[in-house]
Each structure stands twice: as C-alpha cells, then as structure tokens.
Structure 1
Amino acid sequence: MTWTDILAPIKNTEYFKTLWEKVQNEYSTEKCFPPKDQIFRALELTPFENINVVIIGQDPYHNDNQANGLCFSVSEEVTAPPSLKNIFKELHDDLGIERNQKELNDWAEQGIFLLNATLSVRAHSPNSHKNLGWEKLTNYMIKEISDKKENVVFILWGAFAQKKEELIDCDKHLIIKSAHPSPFSVYRGFYGSKPFSKVNDYLKSKNKKPISW
C-alpha cells in the first residue's frame, strides 16, 4: 500500500480541494515555508510501506532557509534551532552519537516519518497556517498509519503532539511520550528520556532493523 492509495479517499473530497486552494493562495500572495515543492517531502522520502517510526511536530520553522518539509529538520546552511540542538544533545547522552548533520533526510529514508501537523507557515509568523485545515489531513495520515500498520513507534514530544495519542492504537504500536525539546521544557522530562535507544530496542524486539541515528 502506497501514499497514493492511502490519500486517494481524502484527496478527492471538497475539503482537500478547498485546503489546497487556500495553500496556493497563501504561497502566491505571501512568503511561505517550506518551499512549495517541499510541502509533501516527508511523504516523498518515507514511503507508507517503509514507516517504522513517526515523529510529530507542530508546524514548520518560519525563518528563511530553515524549513525543508521534515519536522525538526533544517537546511545545512542555517544554524540549528534550539529544539534540534537539544534533540542532538539527548541523542549523544542516550547513544553516544555526535550528530552534526542538521538535515534529517537520512532518518526519513530509514523509515522515520517526520510529520508536522501543519505543513506550511507564513514567513516569520509561527502557527500562521494552523487554521487553513492541514490538521484534518495530517490526523488522517496518523490514523491510517495506526490502522493499517503494526509495530510502529510514535514519538510524541510535548503537549501538542500528545493530543494525537487518541488517533493511535496503543495495543498495536509503541508510544513514546516526553516533554518537548524546546528550551522552555527540555528540563521537564525531555533530557534523560532516552527515546533513541527505546526506539531501537523496540524495533529489534519486533525483528525490525534499528535506526542508524
């Protein structure tokens, strides 16, 4: 089963046509991120059949040259945002891995679906596209992954992502929850949560290939 199969029912609805018209209007009248051809990059790099891990973010980074269609990932040419730095610090503390590559496309290509709940944003205006209607689509994706796959790890960092738990069948999948890696909450339970080793331990227990973080 492919993303084309999964999305066919919702893409043919009036809802999706209206959403896409709104998105196209925003991109034609305002500066928006990620670049329009990268809005669905997470789906392009992580085919539905390859998904073993899902990480859920809120919306894309809103400053120049940051967002590239994968949650928490930024282009190599910019400084790593604080949340990404904190993710890499926890990765080092958890598995001893010193990661410098800020683009997370290698994670996506290993079956980590890096999904923002809202897939676009107006420049320098965080959460500005939250009312366009993206979440109906991304909630649909999360539920389809839960319903149609088994033994997937869902990583829910922070209160926003944890609201998505109701879409996930916890009997079939592993849910890893902690505080968000932002500087405002990183000391409230993100540091020390060891999500990376937990993912690999679970994948190995299900005879799946662990992630090369």
Structure 2
Amino acid sequence: MFESEALFDLPQDPADTTRFSDLAQLPLAELMAPDWASALQGVDGRLRSVLAFLAGEEAAGHQILPPPSNVLRAFRQPLADVKVLIVGQDPYPTPGHAVGLSFSVDARTRPLPRSLVNIYRELESDLGIPPRVHGDLSAWTEQGVLLLNRVLTVRAGSAGSHRGKGWEDITTAAVTAVAGRRTADGSRLPLVAVLWGKEAENVRPLLAGAPAVCSPHPSPLSASRGFFGSKPFSRVNQLLREQGARDVTWDLPPSA
C-alpha cells in the first residue's frame, strides 16, 4: 500500500543537520507542543527507546524517513486544537516523500503518490474540489486535522520496516489522549476520526466512542473496494457540525 515511484527523489535539506541521537537528548517540551508533551509523558521512556533504535539505524548507515527534524512533526500542532484525526500506516518509503504527516508529501514531489492521487479524486467527487498539483496537506493541519501515522519512521525503500519497534505504543497514547480530552464540565471536545484501511481501524477501540468515518485504504490495491464513493470529507464536516464544531475547509491552496 505504499508508493515508491518518483520522477525524482528529493534530498534532505543540507542545512538540516539534526540527528536522531540529538533528539534523544531533548526533553519532550522541546520536541512537541507543550500539551502534547504533558499528554505523552507516560510514554517518554518508550520514545527514548525508539529514538535510540533510530540512532543505531542511522549509525549503521541506513537512511531513515522522514528526517529527524520531521519525525514528530504531527505533535507540533497543539493537542487542544485537534478536531479531526486521520490515521495513516507508515511513512512513504521513497526518499523525499515522507514529511511527518500522514499521506502528505513535500510540495515539490512529482508525481504524487498514488494513494494521495486517489484521496484527491475522492475529494473532487465528494465536494467538487479539483485535485492539486502538489501534495502538501499542511493547510489541513492548521484547521485542527491531525495527520498521524501509526508508525512514524521507515527505512528508505523498505515499507513497514519499523513496525513493532515501539512507535505503536506512542501513537496509541496519542490517539487515547486526543479522544480523552474534556472540557471543564466534563463534556467531550469535538472529534471525528478518519480510519482508512484495517490497520487504521485497529485504533477504533481507543476513540472512547468518538465518531469515526471508516472505509478501505485509498491505495490502488483497495480504493475501488469502497474508498471511492465513501464521501469522507462531507461526512466529517457533518459529524463536526453535529458536535457544534466548524467545518474543515478541505480546499487546499492551488500551490503550496
């Protein structure tokens, strides 16, 4: 379910010299938004273990995606702002594609991964929004959409290579934290989860009853089995309105 074709691979920014061993030395508050740091304090030790594993991979000469500075990018968005959770699986394994946000890619990536092409196709079918030439989905995150992969890193060219290394414990804690937020009077904060594919649906028990929009994965291997025609974007907005929250403007800028 991963796309490795690319017209060209994008190199890591040469100005970015951050290493995984550097991340392992930093407190949570310097790695993510303050409320995320508080929410994930219970898995801090597990995160250190994963970062140590990645430092070892790096020292052995393996290229890890995304680069260290973007591995925890999803958690830069304040936990308090999240109202939509879109769960991915692994980062794209093609160098230059993975940016730390599920399904999103660098704005310069051409051609777009096929899963993302299918997401754009369904977006047009659902809401009439034409596909963009770029794959930068960060404009969604600015509206409270958390683009969270279940596993946050991968060896370049080897999809699924970092499953079972500890990321699942961290993302389980993250989903639990999102679903567990409450107002001062105990009311649940608005939340809709988007679960594409069986692996994403595995987090459903963590949602504490929050509504979820589920369908097959947008991969070319499964999109025709129910992803196309599922209207996830309009359904998410309807569920947000039912909770008293604003719609997400799914229309992305024409150029990133």
TM range (shorter): over 0.9
Cα separation, 1, equivalents of 2:106 and 2:73: 13
Aligned residues: 208
Which string of whole-angstrom CA distances, capped at 9 and with x for unpartnered residues, describes residues 47-100 of structure 1?
Answer: 100000001111100012100000000112222111000000000000001131
Aligned-partner SS, 2:59? helix
- Equivalent residue letter for 1:183: P
1:24 pairs with 2:55: yes
Superposition pairs for residues 57-76 of structure 1, below 5 Å? 57-76=88-107
- Equivalent residue letter for 2:240: L
Q: Tell me by how many angstroms 1:17 deviates.
A: 2.4
Q: Partner residue of 2:234? A: 197
Aligned-partner SS, 1:198? helix
Q: Partner residue of 1:108? A: 141
Q: Partner residue of 2:80? A: 49
1:162 pairs with 2:201: yes
- Equivalent residue letter for 2:169: K
1:188 pairs with 2:221: no
Cα separation, 1, equivalents of 2:200 and 2:223: 15
* 8 Å contact from structure 1 (residues 23, 132) kept in 2: no
- Equivalent residue letter for 1:16: L
* 8 Å contact from structure 1 (residues 27, 36) kept in 2: no
Aligned-partner SS, 1:148? coil
Larger Rg: 2
Cα separation, 1, equivalents of 2:91 and 2:242: 33
Which string of whole-angstrom CA distances, capped at 9 and with x for unpartnered residues, describes residues 27-53 of structure 1?
Answer: 333111001100011111x21000000
Cα separation, 2, equivalents of 1:212 and 1:180: 22
Q: Partner residue of 1:34? A: 66
Q: Which runs of 5+ in 2 are unaligned?
A: 1-33, 183-187, 251-256
- Equivalent residue letter for 1:126: A
Which string of whole-angstrom CA distances, capped at 9 and with x for unpartnered residues, describes residues 160-187 of structure 1?
Answer: 11111121112xx211110110111111
Superposition pairs for residues 75-90 of structure 1, below 5 Å? 75-78=106-109, 79-90=111-122
Identity %: 37
Structure that is richer in helix per residue: 1
1:212 pairs with 2:252: no
Extract structure 1 runs of 4+ deviating beyond 6 A.
Answer: none
